[in-house]
């Protein structure tokens, strides 16, 4: 499973938007990988940032 898949899965299971550090704490993936995945997923429109530094799945 790629870092992008893990980030999407984690955000879709979360009740509230999560920060990068929250995601890193929940999964066993390097912070730089999570940050890269978030950047790519935002560019693809798959996740959104409802407030600064918080992310959720684009539903």
Which CATH topology does 3-57 take? Arc Repressor Mutant, subunit A (1.10.10)
pLDDT for the residue 29: 94
pLDDT of amino acid 5: 97
pTM of the model: 0.92
Q: What is the pLDDT of residue 41?
A: 97
Beta-sheet pairing, 47-48 with 54-57: antiparallel
Element (H, E) at 54: strand 54-57
Instruction: Parse the chain into domains and list their residue ranges.
Output: 3-57
* pLDDT tens by residue, 13-59: 999 999 999 999 999 999 999 999 999 999 999 999 999 999 999 87
Sheet holding 54-57, edge to edge: 18-19, 54-57, 47-48
Predicted local distance difference test score (pLDDT) of residue 59 = 78
């Amino acid at each position: 499973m790629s870092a992008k898949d893990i980030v999407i899965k984690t955000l879709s299971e979360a009740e509230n938007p999560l920060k990068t550090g929250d995601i890193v704490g929940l999964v066993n993936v390097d912070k730089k990988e999570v940050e890269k995945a978030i950047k790519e997923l935002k560019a693809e429109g798959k996740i959104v940032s409802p407030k600064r530094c918080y992310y959720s799945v684009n539903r």
